[in-house]
């Protein structure tokens, strides 16, 4: 299992939720997982019902164990490009208070704004540093690092920092940092997962994203189909829903006892709404089947997570994590 797991997806597909559930699924049986946010939205804090994440690694949840083992821990970190640049300046140039003075003058924000490639190097670099970090005994501090990354349309450019840095520096510390980051990102230690829905636009963006990642030599992991709705009708009923069966449906409703003494009239009033709902459901099932076919043609392992009717909360995250483990996504 890759130690750095990058989660991307079209906006609205629930990529942050999937990243959080994956972190819980991986943090089991004593495992330590770091969940990293790079977009500054504080979406992780909202999911876990916590205060806004600071620029420091903080324990945010405990995952259940298994087989008598104690549960693992999930830490979270919201990476801020300005703070990461200050760390970088201190690490390579020992600026210390001078770096803080630059921040007060607005130089740090100016640098990361005019050079978005530098911002991406700093954000990805911080995550890769956490992947490589070891304690005094030589063991990795974190067993897994999960990055809640930018959307699919920007993920390849975000991760392919070598190209971004080429226009900034061809040698020196920044260049060396980018090379170290790419060594991790293009290694077997990394997997880039894409989250989608069974809808045309998200599936198309997923297909395009996979092609771009593969062309850039970045390791594609899995496709996670999120918010999958249950199918309530069997095949015969789905076929019938597309036809004209008013009389049969009305008789069936009447036999079911709807409407009391005037059950025939009451049943008649229910026919059209029921047929309309059934037809809509049948159309959605057909659309989803078509999108599953498109995903199958990508030849990337695909897993599905259900739509939780009660909305998303911490209990829902644990439920999704359990589903991921059942599908061996976290193995």
Q: What is the pLDDT along the chain (331 residues), one digit of tens a residue?
A: 689 999 999 999 999 999 999 999 999 878 899 999 998 888 888 888 888 887 889 999 988 776 556 679 999 999 877 777 667 665 554 555 544 544 554 544 545 554 556 778 778 888 998 999 999 999 999 999 999 999 999 999 999 877 666 556 566 667 777 788 889 999 999 999 999 999 999 999 999 999 999 999 999 999 999 999 887 656 665 555 555 555 555 555 555 555 444 444 554 566 666 666 666 667 677 888 999 999 999 999 999 999 987 678 888 999 999 999 888 755 5
**Residue 300, pLDDT score:** 96
List, as one string, the DSSP characters of 81-103. HHHHHHHHHHHHH--THHHHHHH
Q: Is 36 helix (H, G, I), strand (E, B) or coil?
A: strand
Domain ranges across the chain:
4-229+307-326, 235-281
How many residues appear in the chain? 331
Tell me how far apart the alpha carbons of residues 237 and 245 are, in angstroms, rounded to a whole number: 11
Full-model pTM:
0.81
Q: How many other C-beta atoms can be found within 10 angstroms of the C-beta atom of residue 19?
A: 27
Q: What is the reported pLDDT for 55?
A: 81
CA distance 82 to 45: 20
CA pair distance 248, 201, nearest whole angstrom: 38
Output the pLDDT for position 277.
67
Residue recorded with tokens 């001078």: 98
Tokens standing for 9? Answer: 């997806």
Q: Which residue pairs, CB below 8 angstroms and at least 24 apart, start in 110-115?
A: 111/85, 112/81, 112/82, 112/85, 115/168
What is the bridge-based pairing of β-strands 58-62 and 220-228? unpaired
What homologous superfamily does CATH list for 4-229+307-326? P-loop containing nucleotide triphosphate hydrolases (3.40.50.300)
Q: How far is CA 103 from CA 216, 224, 324, in A?
A: 34, 40, 42
Angle of the 107-114 helix axis to the 116-132 helix axis, nearest 10: 100
Q: Give pLDDT, residue 108.
A: 47
Whole-number pLDDT of residue 260: 43
Only one residue has tokens 């989660």, namely 7
Question: In this structure, what DSSP letter does residue 157 have?
Answer: H
The per-residue pLDDT for 249 is 55
If one counts every other C-beta atom within 10 angstroms of the C-beta of residue 136, the result is: 5
C-alpha to C-alpha distance for 72 and 93, rounded to whole angstroms: 37
Give the DSSP H or E segment for 158: helix 152-159
CA proximity to 182, closest of 90, 245, 115, 120: 120
Tokens standing for 309? 């009717």
Find where tokens 């640049």 sit: 85
| CA 257 to chain CA mean position, Å | 48
């Amino acid at each position: 299992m890759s130690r750095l797991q990058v989660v991307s997806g079209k906006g609205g597909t629930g990529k942050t939720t999937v990243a959080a559930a994956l972190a819980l699924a991986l943090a089991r049986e004593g495992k330590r997982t770091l969940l990293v946010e790079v977009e500054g939205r504080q979406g992780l804090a909202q999911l876990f019902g916590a205060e806004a994440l600071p620029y420091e690694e903080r324990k945010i949840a405990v995952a259940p164990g298994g087989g008598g083992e104690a549960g693992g821990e999930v830490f979270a970190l919201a990476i801020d490009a300005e703070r990461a640049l200050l760390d970088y300046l201190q690490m390579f140039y020992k600026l210390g208070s001078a770096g803080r003075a630059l921040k007060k003058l607005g130089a740090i924000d100016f640098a990361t704004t005019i050079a978005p490639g530098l911002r991406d190097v700093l954000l990805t670099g911080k995550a890769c540093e956490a992947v490589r970090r070891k304690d005094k005994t030589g063991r990795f501090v974190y067993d897994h690092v999960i990055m809640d990354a930018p959307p699919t349309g920007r993920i390849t450019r975000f991760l392919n920092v070598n190209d971004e840095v080429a226009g900034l520096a061809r040698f020196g510390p920044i260049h060396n940092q980018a090379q170290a980051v790419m060594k991790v990102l293009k290694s077997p230690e990394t997997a880039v997962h894409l989250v989608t829905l069974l809808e045309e636009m998200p599936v198309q963006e997923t297909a395009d994203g996979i092609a771009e990642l593969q062309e850039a030599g970045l390791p594609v992991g899995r496709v996670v189909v999120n918010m999958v709705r249950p199918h309530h009708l069997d095949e015969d009923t789905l076929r019938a829903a597309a036809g004209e069966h008013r009389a049969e449906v009305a008789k069936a409703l009447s036999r079911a006892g709807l409407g009391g003494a005037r059950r025939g009239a009451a049943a008649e009033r229910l026919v059209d709404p029921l047929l309309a709902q059934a037809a809509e459901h049948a159309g959605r099932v057909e659309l989803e089947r078509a999108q599953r076919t498109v995903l199958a043609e990508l030849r990337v392992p695909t897993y599905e997570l259900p739509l939780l009717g009660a909305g998303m909360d911490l209990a829902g995250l644990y439920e999704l994590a359990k589903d991921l483990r059942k599908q061996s996504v976290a193995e």
